Amino acid sequence: MDILPFMGIGFVILLLSGMPIGFAVGSISVAVFYLMDVPALYSMIPQRFFAGLDSFTLMAMPFFIFAGEIMNSSRITHRIVEFANVLIAHIRGGLAHVNVIASIFFAGMTGAAVSDAAALGSMLIPAMVEDGYDEDFAAAVTGGSSIIGPTIPPSNMMVLYGAMMGVSIAGLFAAGILPGIILGIIMMVVSAIISKRRNYPKAEKRASLKEIFSAFIKAFPALLMPIIILGGILLGVFTPTEAAAVAVFYAFLIGYFVYGTLNIRDIPDLLESTARTTGVVFLIIASANIMGWILANQRIPEQIAELFLSITENPLLILLLINILMLIVGMFMDIAAALVILGPVLHPIAVDLGVSPIQFGIIMVFALNIALKTPPVGACLYVLMGLTDLTLEELTRAIWPYILASLLLLFLITYVDFITLLIPSILGIG
């Protein structure tokens, strides 16, 4: 029988039935093994399941997740927001810009959009509403800028992609810096246009140099974290996995000893939360590795490549089709699962087209992260709905300018490799 339609239809049915995506991927993969009726293949199931997780590089993910949990629990976000506030609150729509700038600073600590949306949204959305901003706009700018987190390193998605595809994680981290900064600038431009049109408030006076210096000193230990992580990786002091462990140690150090806001009694709960998040992601990775073997065995990547080539042989159009495919899949599937499933299929196609593996890694991570703020399963949207009284429809209407701005950057990094490859080439990485 034709395996691909069975897998596709079966997978969708399992998801619609409410089965968690990790179990859905594993169940449909085991069912396909059974239908292939090759007894020797049965031993492949546990082997592929284990092989999917048998990577030292993947150990970086739980460490980075734990570091983010500690940073959130320590309320270090407040220092970052206060520093961003004194820098830019005097501009029209100042708190919206503070939201974006805080996301840029926060990105170097957690590498997760949902954490960014939850941490900054819980503090800034009420503050913006109290200051005269519309609630839907406050939520939209928070959600729009949240994907800066997994674009500027460290990024859990980059770790996952690099481990799967054998691509330099240090190179991916370096490649994400410039797109992340450009995304922040674009988000601020969109916020400025909307703020001017709606006549949102601004601070009555510019902060003094003394106030800026005082806020900087308070935020300095937190701002130093991404410098230590990225500097250590890019200078070869430690590997990305070791850097993740350093991030945990440093987060604990400043949370407990410097700021004194981390409660030791919270550590077990933070570990449990980390274990839950990691377990979900790792189950998806392990199950998807079984599916990946089936797809490779059935030559699915080659068939998809042939399908694209049957439509057009223009590399630019093929990349457009790949982006459209990732955006559509990301709208309906968990982005970690989408990355694990689509990565082995699309990566060889892009490389054959002459796209740098590092550049395509950034393209793929960024495209799928856009889905975090698009319905129907955008995780950031549901986090923001939980923080506000907005419905999904209201939030979607408010966030669409930020989605369009993100799409603009996606196509820029797809067709202008300078944006992603400049910093890795300067550093000689990848």
- 10 Å Cβ neighbour count for 38? 11
User: Span 323-330, mean pLDDT?
Assistant: 86
Q: What is the pTM of this model?
A: 0.81
Most confident of 12-21, 72-81, 403-412, 421-430: 403-412
> Which pLDDT score, from 0 to 100, does residue 16 have?
79
Determine the structural domain holding residue 61 and report its residue range: 57-287+298-427
User: Span 25-43, mean pLDDT?
Assistant: 74
Name the CA dihedral angle for 259, 83, 385, 109, rounded to a multiple of 10 degrees. -60
- CB-count exposure of residue 30 (10 Å: 0-12, 13-18, 19+): middle
> Which pLDDT score, from 0 to 100, does residue 108 have?
63
pLDDT in tens, 371-402: 888 876 677 887 888 888 888 889 989 999 99
Confidence of residue 194 (pLDDT cuts 50, 70, 90): very high
Q: Over 90: is that where the pLDDT of 406 sits?
A: yes
Q: Over 90: is that where the pLDDT of 39 sits?
A: no
User: Span 14-37, mean pLDDT?
Assistant: 80
Of residues 167 and 31, more confidence is placed in 167
Name the amino acid, one letter, at 209: L
| 217 backbone dihedrals φ, ψ, rounded to 5° | -60, -40
Name the amino acid, one letter, at 223: L
Confidence of residue 137 (pLDDT cuts 50, 70, 90): very high
Q: Token pair of 310, please?
A: 């049957």
Q: Cis (ω within 30 of 0) for the bond into 154?
A: yes
Low-confidence winner among 81-85, 258-262, 418-422 (lowest mean pLDDT): 81-85
Nearest to 184 by CA among 229, 151, 221: 151
Tell whether 155 is covered by a domain: yes
Largest separation between any pair of C-alpha atoms in the chain: 75
Q: Over 80: is that where the pLDDT of 116 sits?
A: no
First to last CA, the chain: 42
Q: Over 60: is that where the pLDDT of 104 sits?
A: yes
Confidence of residue 155 (pLDDT cuts 50, 70, 90): confident
Confidence of residue 364 (pLDDT cuts 50, 70, 90): very high
Residue that has been written with the tokens 């409410």 in this structure: 18
> Which pLDDT score, from 0 to 100, does residue 84 have?
83
Tell whether 12 is covered by a domain: no
Axis crossing angle, helix 267-297 with helix 21-36, rounded to the nearest 10: 30
Within 8 A by CB and 6+ apart from 166, the residues are none
The answer to whether 261 and 75 are in contact (CB under 8 A) is: yes
pLDDT in tens, 65-75: 888 788 878 87
> Which pLDDT score, from 0 to 100, does residue 136 have?
93
Name the CA dihedral angle for 240, 75, 392, 382, rounded to a multiple of 10 degrees. 50
Tell whether 28 is covered by a domain: no
> Which pLDDT score, from 0 to 100, does residue 37 have?
67
What does the alpha-carbon distance between residue 25 and residue 41 come to, in Å, rounded to a whole number? Answer: 17
What does the alpha-carbon distance between residue 328 and residue 313 come to, in Å, rounded to a whole number? Answer: 22
Q: Over 90: is that where the pLDDT of 243 sits?
A: no
Tell whether 6 is covered by a domain: no
Confidence of residue 299 (pLDDT cuts 50, 70, 90): confident
> Which pLDDT score, from 0 to 100, does residue 341 have?
81
Q: Over 80: is that where the pLDDT of 135 sits?
A: yes
Tell whether 194 is covered by a domain: yes
Within 8 A by CB and 6+ apart from 198, the residues are 134, 137
Nearest to 366 by CA among 76, 41, 113: 113
The answer to whether 155 and 111 are in contact (CB under 8 A) is: yes
Q: Over 80: is that where the pLDDT of 349 sits?
A: yes
User: Span 32-55, mean pLDDT?
Assistant: 73
Nearest to 86 by CA among 213, 220, 224: 213
Confidence of residue 110 (pLDDT cuts 50, 70, 90): low
Tell whether 16 is covered by a domain: no
Chain centroid, CA 115 distance in Å = 10
Chain centroid, CA 106 distance in Å = 13
Chain centroid, CA 395 distance in Å = 20
> Which pLDDT score, from 0 to 100, does residue 111 have?
63
Q: Over 90: is that where the pLDDT of 403 sits?
A: yes
Of residues 276 and 284, more confidence is placed in 276
Q: What mean pLDDT, rounded, does the chain reach?
A: 84
Of residues 366 and 429, more confidence is placed in 366
Domain count of the fold of the chain: 1
Most confident of 214-218, 289-293, 357-361: 357-361
What does the alpha-carbon distance between residue 271 and residue 294 come to, in Å, rounded to a whole number? Answer: 35
Tell whether 31 is covered by a domain: no
Of residues 43 and 190, more confidence is placed in 190
Tell whether 237 is covered by a domain: yes
Q: Over 90: is that where the pLDDT of 141 sits?
A: yes
